[in-house]
Structure 1
Amino acid sequence: MTTIYDVALRAGVSISTVSRVLNSHPYVKDSTRKRVEELLAEMNYVPNYNASSLVRKRTKTIAVMLPDISNNFFATIFLGIEEKASQNGFVVIFGNTSEDVNKEKEYMHMFLERRVDGIILDPVSVKGETLRPILNNEVPLVLIDREIVGMETSLVSSNNEKGASELVEYLIERGHERIGLITASKETSVFGMRNRGYYGALKRAGLEVRDEYIKVGTKPVQEVGHSLVQSLVECDPAPTALFAANNGLAIGAAHGLRELGYTVPNDMAIVCFDELDNGAVLDPFFTSMNQQAYEMGVKAADLLLKQISKELNVTKKIYLDPHLFIRRST
């Protein structure tokens, strides 16, 4: 991890000069300040606000960043992480990134400043641009749910393509041939895989993949699902069934259909990825492909703790099978 000594050496100045720059001290020449600040950014220097951790080398703290803690799937993941960490004497601190790359970047810097021992991340950034400080500082990292193509880091996720295929195949078995899809950008790994599962199931059944039946939103949240389904029903003919790529999109779609006078499943059947919150008031309850969220959290925490203790020195990827739950929305 880059230290103040490293920066001072590269800049050709004293440690006290670097310290003054870090603390915005006025008595530093502008040219010197600029050179030091450029090196601080280039070398991914992270200030240490927990000096005692340098003595013990460990803070017994791990950080978790998830896109939407109000979503039952992510809340259950967090519960699994927290319980596994607690059993091993670690404290968990949390950042809700709200599907926002800038918030992800802010939390990343904040947690590194606190010298956490490791990080579990469900990334919003699709190319891993926010992860450079973690990798450069060699902080143990485990990705959960979403992966970043080409990045060699440990991962715990689901067999998303297989699960999506099974959902669409179930709709086809129920007699549906016009099946719509509401999803998020394929650049986000889980949605790209679920999209492929949808395409594959239709093609294997000899059904046409109709572009107008595929609606892609900016974020996988209720408000977007509400908007997308209202666009979908304008197709002529409209789909008789809908695959929502996550539960947030499904809830928004159900509300949107209800506002338009559609009933589920009589006018349109709905299936989705992920269980709903027990407090969700929806009738009928969705047929869904449920991921092993709690187990994902436990396994991610286990991988991270093994990295921190040096018990695991190689990357490991774990994919869990989701399970189909049939309910009254189909």
Structure 2
Amino acid sequence: MKMSEESAKISRATLSDVCRHTGLSTATVSRVINQTGNVKAATVKKVMDAIAQLGYVPNHAARALAGQRNKMIGVVFPEISTGFWAEILKGLDAEADDHQYHILTAFSHGGQDERELALRLLGEGRIDALVVMNLRLGKDFMQQAGRFNIPVILIDRPIAGLETASVTLDNVTGACQAMTHLYEHGYEQVVILAGDLETYDARQRLMGCKKAAKAAKVAWDDRLVVASSFTEEGGSRAIDTWFKQSVKPPRAIFCFNDNIAIGAMNALEKRGFAVPDDVAVIGFDDIDSARHLKLTTVHVPVLEMGRAAANAAIQVISNQAFNKQQVLPTQLVLRRSCGCLVEAEQKVCAG
């Protein structure tokens, strides 16, 4: 079996090459590779950059270069703060198990750590594919990752111009459905709690909001978009930000995830405003607590995302044809927080 040119290039790089490139001792470089001892973050970055540039693969990865599989898929998560990621992981693991693969999971701690962690997993050669989830890793990272000859699967954020497999959501349609529903309730002024607008999801959902406004012939107003973070604390802060510019609460709010919505509802309640009597609220994701809180939200097929990502990884590993970009559907789920069930309850009482 012939190695590819890329594999041959990788195999020629040695530990000594990495040491010469970085000007560091063999002991220091080995500590970085084996993750032993205390090594400064700057030194770790220097070594990992050199490994990526030279295409060095540690000795324990030799069997991967020889074409043997580890039956292991690596997964890098951005955080562990919500159950959203746990559900995706559950889907990943279920699909992997169906094909006799295991999952190796790691959590990053910020932007630079994401890159170093992902490159380290690729460089160790212990995985057959890497799944990265909504990380801020761009085309330059993918070019570095390509040196290791290990497929990378993207969840939640495709990168244009690459042949990499990705699994994403139909964020535009989901957000458009939510905003359209609020407009149909008669709320022409809808405040949007957008989370982090630098993320792919938030940008896509904002596109959906603008699409709905245009279809409803509602003038778009950037002042109604409040950015924060995708957490309950972010939702609470966003409400505080709104009340710094207005004495009245918004009549309707669309939140870019359910955690923001829960934080916003708690903040509104502390200020004496009831949902949905005073303020209608819609979220996005349909997490477990959304059902308990009767939160109208956009359902996301989370388990299916995990399964689709694992399946794509296994197809690439096995050199099978794969769908380069899978877009999973989203669907608005009506509950009490937008006022729909309240109207139904009132009709029942009146009848």
TM-score (norm 1): 0.83
CA RMSD, Structure 1 to Structure 2 (Å): 3.0
Counterpart contact for 1:182–1:242, Cα < 8 Å? yes
Matched to 1:175, the amino acid is G
Matches within 5 A, 1:249-288: 249-278=260-289, 283=293, 285-288=294-297
State the identity %: 27
Matches within 5 A, 1:29-178: 40=51, 42-49=53-60, 57-97=68-108, 100-112=110-122, 113-125=124-136, 127-178=138-189
Distance in 2 between the 1:56 and 1:63 partners? 18
Gaps of 5+ in 1: 25-35
Matches within 5 A, 1:158-307: 158-217=169-228, 219-236=229-246, 238-278=249-289, 283=293, 285-307=294-316
Counterpart contact for 1:163–1:197, Cα < 8 Å? yes
Distance in 2 between the 1:152 and 1:189 partners? 18
TM-score (norm 2): 0.78
Q: Deviations over 1:175-234 (max 9, x none)?
A: 2111011113444222111001111111221212222210112x3222222111221244
Gaps of 5+ in 2: 1-6, 32-45, 339-351
The residue aligned with 1:30 is none
SS in 2 for 1:108: helix
* C-alpha displacement of 1:317: 0.9
SS in 1 for 2:226: strand
Counterpart contact for 2:195–2:234, Cα < 8 Å? no
SS in 1 for 2:130: strand
Counterpart contact for 1:123–1:147, Cα < 8 Å? no
Matched, 1:325 2:336: no
CA gap 1:204/1:233 in 2 versus in 1, 3 angstroms = farther
The residue aligned with 1:27 is none
Distance in 2 between the 1:309 and 1:157 partners? 22
CA gap 1:259/1:102 in 2 versus in 1, 3 angstroms = farther
Aligned length: 311
CA gap 1:23/1:75 in 2 versus in 1, 3 angstroms = closer
SS in 2 for 1:156: strand
Distance in 2 between the 1:7 and 1:213 partners? 56
Counterpart contact for 1:233–1:239, Cα < 8 Å? no
CA gap 1:205/1:171 in 2 versus in 1, 3 angstroms = same
CA gap 1:323/1:129 in 2 versus in 1, 3 angstroms = same
The residue aligned with 2:41 is none
Counterpart contact for 2:53–2:144, Cα < 8 Å? no
Counterpart contact for 2:13–2:57, Cα < 8 Å? no
With 65-74 and 257-266 compared, the bigger mean Cα shift is at: 65-74
Distance in 2 between the 1:95 and 1:258 partners? 37
CA gap 1:253/1:132 in 2 versus in 1, 3 angstroms = farther
